[in-house]
Amino acid sequence: MQTKRIRTLHMIIIVLLIITVISLTLAGAMGALYMREVREVGRLQGERQQMLADQALPVLSVDVEDGTAGDPEPGMEDADAESANGVAAAGEDVQLDPSDASIAELMQSKEAEVEQSIKDRMKELVTGEDGSPLKMLRSFFPENLIYSFENEYVFAPVLDEVTKHSLLDENFEKTEEGLMQYVENGTVTSHKGIDVSKYQGNIDWAAVREEGIEYAFIRLGLRGYESGKIVLDDFYDANMKGASEAGVSTGIYFFTQAVTVEEAQEEAAFVIEHLAGYDVSCPVVFDVERISGGKGRADQITREERTAVTIAFCEAVKAAGYTPMIYGNVVCFTQLLDMTQLNDYEKWYAFYDDYMYMPYDVSCWQYTEKGRVNGISNNVDLNISFKPW
């Protein structure tokens, strides 16, 4: 039933998009052509009025152009002028008919061209290798962040108050090995990284470093999403030591389930305590994800409460001399947090695709959860950062 509903929504949205875009395009084209014709008719009418101001001039002009009449006879001045006016008027009509036909032909041509262009664009977006209705919608509505959430499409406005990045879509490249990178003027300027937890098991960090991994975000711990208990990741110390010995720079992340500012400060204190003795050059990350299915103890707090919790953690980390960072996906950055209050902190964005769909300033992009790296026996998250730490 959910699949059928989503398909129906897809069809409705596509039809509405086609109708809206075609209608707006045709209205604009017709309006422009109409205004141009109005100006032309006005110009011709002005010339005609100027000709009528001198009765002799139109007669001579028409007769000379037609080559059928000599000088007007005396007493025939009014009649000749009237006749000339008729010829001049007829001349206007004759000139406008081809023009009208040309305009109609041009409009039909433009309509067909615009319609075909729209169809081609939609076909490219929907039927391409990585195409989808969502990608099509995102292309047509750049002023929104669009995503599917709980079987509905969300159109979240892009906020002017939130700092934007200056990254260019065309600079993102995917290597033959399936790795994402950012290239400027032929030079790769992004940095390769991973993030790990106990789920990656024992890691051969020397092999990881040989594969070109520059940094790793290592899970330090979490607060239980039901119990509320703070626990240390089983492999935290082993991963920190192994990465440091192999020459891989480290940062850490903590999965929060804090529901109050006091709990966020408690989490920050726990993190800072376990950072002692380690060289942490990368950011200390606050992971604010929801628990799928709405089972998390923090899933019911408001946006304002979650934002206050996030600021409390980040400020405590900053006061301890570390760089705070916020991890989240498009839902986090549009529904869970008030991003207008978080411009001062670095962002780590999770979005699994071949393009980075996020206008806000981010320092790091987690682009897949299914990466493979020598030295790690199972899948691992892959990241690129846009700055060295």
Rounded to the nearest 5°, which phi and psi values hold at 175? -75, 170
Q: Is the same domain home to 74 and 133?
A: yes
Rounded Cα–Cα distance for residues 152 and 163 (Å): 27
The token pair at 15 is 């039809």
What does the angle CA 17 – CA 332 – CA 239 come to, to the nearest 5 degrees? Answer: 130
- Reduced to 3 states, what is the DSSP secondary structure of residue 44? helix
From 30, 335, 332, select the one nearest 155 (Cα to Cα): 335
CATH of the domain at 237: 3.20.20.80
Instruction: Tell me how crowded residue 207 is: count the other CB atoms within 10 A of its CB.
Output: 14
Together in a domain, 83 and 206: no
**140, 169, 193 - which closes a domain:** 140
DSSP 292-325: TTS-STTTTS-HHHHHHHHHHHHHHHHHTT--EE
Q: How many CB atoms lie within 10 A of CB 153?
A: 16
Pair 324, 346: CB distance under 8 Å: yes
The values of phi and psi at residue 239, to 5°, are -70, -40
| Residue labelled with tokens 């000599």 | 70
Rounded to whole angstroms, the Cα distance separating 275 from 242 reads 15
Instruction: Tell me the C-alpha distance between 273 and 267, whole Å.
Output: 10
Whether 156 maps to a domain, the answer reads no
> Count of domains in the chain?
2
Among candidate residues 140, 171, 188, the one where a domain is terminated? 140
Q: State both tokens at 121.
A: 């664009």
Concatenating the DSSP letter of every residue in 332-377 gives IIIIIS-GGG-TTSEEEEE--SSS----B--SEEEEEEEE--TT-S
- Would you call 291 helix, strand, or coil by DSSP? coil
**Are 121 and 268 members of one domain?**
no
Q: Are 179 and 382 in contact (CB under 8 A)?
A: yes
Domain coverage including residue 32 = 2-140
313 and 188, same domain (yes or no) = yes
For the chain, the residue count is 389
Same domain, 133 and 171: no
User: Of 260, 250, 319, 315, whose CA–CA distance to 286 is shortest?
Assistant: 315
Q: Is residue 203 part of a domain?
A: yes
pLDDT tens digits for 193-203?
A: 999 999 999 99
Beta bridge pairs of residue 364: 348, 385
| pLDDT score for 63 | 35
Cα separation of 28 and 112, whole Å? 14
**Same-domain check for residues 101 and 21:** yes
Q: Which pLDDT value is given to residue 111? A: 75
Residues 212 and 359 in one domain: yes
Task: Answer yes or no: is 151 within a domain.
Answer: no
Determine the pLDDT at residue 121: 62
Are the beta carbons of 373 and 209 closer than 8 angstroms?
no
Same domain, 214 and 307: yes
37 vs 42: CA distance, rounded Å? 8
In a domain, 57, yes or no: yes
Residue appearing with tokens 């050059």: 281
For the chain, how big is the Rg over CA atoms in Å? 34
Are 134 and 227 found together in one domain?
no
Question: Does 145 reside within a domain?
Answer: no
Rounded average pLDDT per 10-residue block, the chain, 389 residues = 56 64 57 54 55 42 35 38 34 48 73 71 53 81 93 94 97 96 97 98 98 98 96 98 98 98 98 97 96 87 98 98 98 97 98 95 98 97 95
pTM: predicted TM-score of the whole model, two decimal places = 0.70
Domain boundary among 111, 140, 169: 140
What pLDDT does residue 294 have? 74
The C-alpha atoms of residue 285 and residue 218 are separated, in whole angstroms, by: 10
Q: Is 153 inside any structural domain?
A: no
Q: Is residue 150 one of the residues assigned to a domain? A: no
Same domain, 264 and 302: yes
The answer to whether 174 touches 384, Cβ cutoff 8 Å, is: no
CA distance 364 to 257: 23
Q: Are residues 247 and 129 in the same domain?
A: no
Are 356 and 172 spatial neighbours (Cβ–Cβ below 8 Å)?
yes
| 113 within a domain of the structure (yes/no) | yes
Looking at the structure, do residues 115 and 225 belong to the same domain, yes or no?
no
